[in-house]
Amino acid sequence: MSNQVNGISKRLIVESPNVKLVDGVLESKFNYRKNHFEHRADGLHVTPKEHEYSFKTVLKPRKTGLLLVGLGGNNGSTAVGSIYANQYGMTWRTKEGSNQFRHPNCHCAPWLRLGAQNQIFVPFKDIVPILSPNDLVISGWDISNSNLYDAMARAKVFEPELQEKLRPFMEPIVPLPSVYYPDFIASNQGDRANNVIPGSNKLEHLEHIRADIRKFKQDHELECVIVLWTANTERYTDVRTGLNTTADEILKSIGSNEYEVSPSNIFAVASILEGAHYINGSPQNTLVPGIIELADRHNVFVGGDDFKSGQTKFKSAFVDFLVSSGLKPECIVSYNHLGNNDGKNLSEARQFRSKEISKSSVVDDMVKSNQILFPDAKNPDHCVVIKYVPFVADSKRAMDEYICSIFMGGKQTFVVHNTCEDSLLASPLIYDLAILTELASRVTYKDGDDYKPFHSVLSILSLLLKAPVVPPGTPISNAFMRQFSTLTKLVTALAGFPSDTDMQIEFFTQLPQSK
């Protein structure tokens, strides 16, 4: 006899012997079918196998706080202002008429397709309960002491009428003093740095940030805290033995005031030691091996790197389409210009190099997926250019040219022009990263005897990040739809039913008649 469970939502009822609800915890069993491959002298041997997983998902979301590093930047002020606009149902006039903010419950996947034949679509939040952006308690740090109203006005993201409606809520918010090591960000940021933790002792800075996190958690009686870096892109830090390749090394390096310990390293370590999850929304290599080991030691999630919002999100879908269609990308040239502070910071070479790496690596796994098109696994010529043009402010221009080899030595060229408000693409990603991290904190699984949490490197966030950080030994996937499929299939497995396959066999065979 099947169990009928109506604990997920009012709309979705799962009738299955593999799912049950016990004291607010959804327990589900999932048969994971996976092909195992072995190269032998006579060919490639395939062995289909099944692995049984059990999941437990606490249905009630936890009271969650989000601490933004870079609270006073374009992304931070936009993310905070948008939540107030939504909470108070604000409307404002634009040239096109009246507008009203309506938040997505999970912007990356607001609706999921559950049924192939009947084309059933269900909101993400109706499959497993998730936070709304309105539920998040937000604070954070910034090297500038501008209140969020002034920061919002400087960013020029919102319409003036909306800015004035937000003023009573934004003006009282002043970011906490932040960590500032001038060598890690562009020299042109020095005039903003009037809100920094004094001194140069990195261990003292670490303890200061830890105290900020503890106070935030206590003041708001939070069950879950997430620290997210949305501040300036840093230059890459060295990774070497003795500095940061183990947890003990990074702690020792902070204690001895090593020069190569970056501000983002300080925030990541402080978060982990306080049991707060850490997400790196910029492209620098914050999550060095020692920090990943430290997160694993403390059972804390880390995720990164670099928000995947506009141009790169399109690239991660389009290049996958090209390769899957048998078109061989030979040359990809991406040009950007933007006028916000991110563009200003990236105008210096070392900071730009961090961004160039994250933008360029997005096609790597697609090249490796097709040995017919890419027999030598050589990546396309891939050039990324970013220019700072103050006049365009947060309105980013991105232009891409894709040149492909096609049949009989021919060429096909695609040219794409994209104009977007940079922070209006990034801010929903901030919400989504926090929402998915909080969801993951409520899930345990077992494939043997004992339940355990997901790996400390939270790779399900890869959909939202340009250069995904994954557990050691795990292949990196950049292709957008593959990442999307991974996330959606995991969510349905948590709810107690597998996603429909996309084979759609019923459309070209005759299904048995239902009794």
* Interatomic CA distance for residues 188 and 345, integer angstroms: 7
To the query of whether residue 156 is one of the catalytic residues in this protein, the response is: no
Nearest 5°: phi and psi at 130?
-135, 165
- Lookup: tokens for 69: 């590093």
- The answer to whether the CB of 445 falls within 8 A of the CB of 32 is no
Q: Which of 156, 313, 344, 466 is catalytic?
A: 466
CB atoms inside a 10 Å sphere around CB 486 = 15
Cβ atoms 138, 83 nearer than 8 A: yes
Catalytic site residue 60?
A: no
d(CA 490, CA 420): 31
Catalytic residue (choose from 308, 396, 422, 432): 396
Find out whether 253 and 244 touch, Cβ atoms under 8 Å.
yes
Q: d(Cα 331, Cα 322) in Å, to the nearest integer?
A: 12
3-state secondary structure string across 178-213:
ECCCHHHCCHHHHHHCCCECCCCCHHHHHHHHHHHH
244: amino acid identity, one letter: N
Whole-angstrom distance, CA of residue 394 vs CA of residue 201: 35
Catalytic residue among 355, 359, 422, 432: 355
At residue 314, φ and ψ (nearest 5 deg) are -60, -45
CB count, 10 Å around CB of 304? 30
Kindly give the interhelix angle for 247-255 and 263-273, rounded to the nearest 10 degrees: 120
396 as an active site residue: the answer is yes
Active-site pick, 142, 212, 305, 306: 306
How far apart CA 122 and CA 130 sit, in angstroms, is 14
> Rounded to an integer, what distance in angstroms lies between the CA atom of residue 391 and that of residue 373?
42
Active site annotation includes 306: yes
Residues with active-site annotation: 306, 355, 396, 466
